[in-house]
Amino acid sequence: MAPWLLCFAVLLPACAQNEPKIIERPVVINLPDVPEQFRSCPGLPTRPAADAMQSDAAEYVILLELALVECHSDLEGLNTYLTTLRAELNI
């Protein structure tokens, strides 16, 4: 008789009713498009030829710097835009 009692004691917790788990549906958030100005950087300037003058090389360096500054500005604008969007959506 003891084996049946042991089996009953082991199986009894399996019959206990637990609270059902509530599974929440995911919330779909339609984010607005990121403005075009933040999604790309300007193209790189054309490298001067090997026989170019120093003034051509200097102009190239200046154009590279301008492209870098514009790209960094766009990234800062994108970060600001996304931070504002997250704050509005509480995410």
Q: What local confidence, expressed as pLDDT, does residue 77 receive? A: 87
Closest CA to 37 of 79, 85, 83, 78: 78
pLDDT score at 12: 61
Name the DSSP class of 53: -
Residue 35: partners with Cβ closer than 8 Å, 6 or more residues away: 81
Q: Is the pLDDT of residue 71 over 80?
A: yes
pTM: 0.55
Rounded to 10 degrees, what is the CA torsion of 77, 79, 81, 86? Answer: -170
